[in-house]
């Protein structure tokens, strides 16, 4: 999605929660990620009433591209309303990678 060409890293949900990553939205969050199974039906609701009221649907890739276009000009000093900063993401990826390497070496 959104033309990502780098590696995809799977992080255990419990590990993310222990590292203080928030679900769904807000500071230090992974937008749209839900670890709490009680919320899994959140997006299963029908949008029929909204469409009847005039909501125009668009493809997810268009929405994501628009979000990127609006956020790319932001500087590191700008406060994000949601998501991880580049520094937070790098820290978490580095920590996960080092823990994974340590766990792999210990099991050899």
pLDDT, position 106: 57
What tens digit of pLDDT does each residue of 30-81 get? Answer: 988 999 998 888 878 899 999 999 999 999 889 888 888 887 787 666 666 7
d(CA 77, CA 88): 14
pTM of the model: 0.70
d(CA 62, CA 45): 22
CA distances from 66 to 8, 87, 100, 103 (A): 22, 23, 35, 40
pLDDT, position 76: 62
Q: Which residues of 38-66 are buried (b: 16+ CB within 10 A; e: fewer)?
A: eeeeeeeeeeeeeeeeeeeeeeeeeeeee
């Amino acid at each position: 999605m959104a033309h990502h060409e780098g590696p995809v890293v799977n992080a255990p949900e419990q590990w993310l929660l222990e590292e203080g990553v928030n679900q769904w939205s807000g500071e230090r969050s992974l937008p749209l990620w839900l670890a709490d199974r009680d919320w899994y039906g959140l997006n299963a609701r029908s949008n029929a009433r909204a469409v009847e009221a005039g909501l125009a649907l668009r493809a997810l890739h268009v929405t994501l591209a628009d979000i990127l276009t609006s956020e790319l000009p932001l500087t590191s000093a700008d406060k994000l309303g949601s998501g991880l900063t580049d520094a937070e993401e790098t820290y978490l990826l580095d920590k996960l990678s080092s823990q994974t390497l340590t766990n792999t070496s210990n099991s050899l």
